């Protein structure tokens, strides 16, 4: 069964080691059972923050 993850980053801080997420991206939460559940978590996490997110298929390895 496919699972999905939410990758979050801050466009303003990309490549800034002292910025959000160390200038990189971070996976939030655990693997989600559906794309919809992952999208809801991403939208909820980012809310009013200046973060962006994308949904990726989780690699079980």
Q: What is the mean pLDDT of residues 2-13?
A: 93
Percent with pLDDT over 90 in the chain: 67
CB count within 10 Å of CB 61 equals 3
Q: What are phi and psi of 35, to 5 degrees?
A: -60, -40
According to the model, what pLDDT value does residue 11 have? 85
- Average the pLDDT over each of 4-8, 9-13, 39-43 and give the range with the smallest value: 9-13
Range of the structural domain that residue 12 is part of: 4-57
Kindly state the DSSP code that residue 32 receives in the 8-state scheme: E
According to the model, what pLDDT value does residue 35 have? 96
Distances (CA, A) of 4 to 46, 49, 54: 17, 22, 10
Dist. CA 19–CA 34, nearest whole Å: 30
According to the model, what pLDDT value does residue 31 have? 93
Q: How many domains are contained in the chain? A: 1
pTM over 0.75: yes
Residue 61 has pLDDT above 70, yes or no: no
């Amino acid at each position: 069964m496919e699972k999905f993850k939410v990758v979050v980053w801050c466009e303003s801080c990309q490549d800034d080691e002292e910025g959000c997420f160390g200038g990189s991206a971070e996976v939030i939460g655990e693997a989600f059972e559906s794309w919809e559940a992952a999208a809801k978590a991403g939208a909820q996490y980012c809310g009013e923050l200046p973060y962006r997110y994308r949904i990726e298929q989780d690699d079980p390895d």
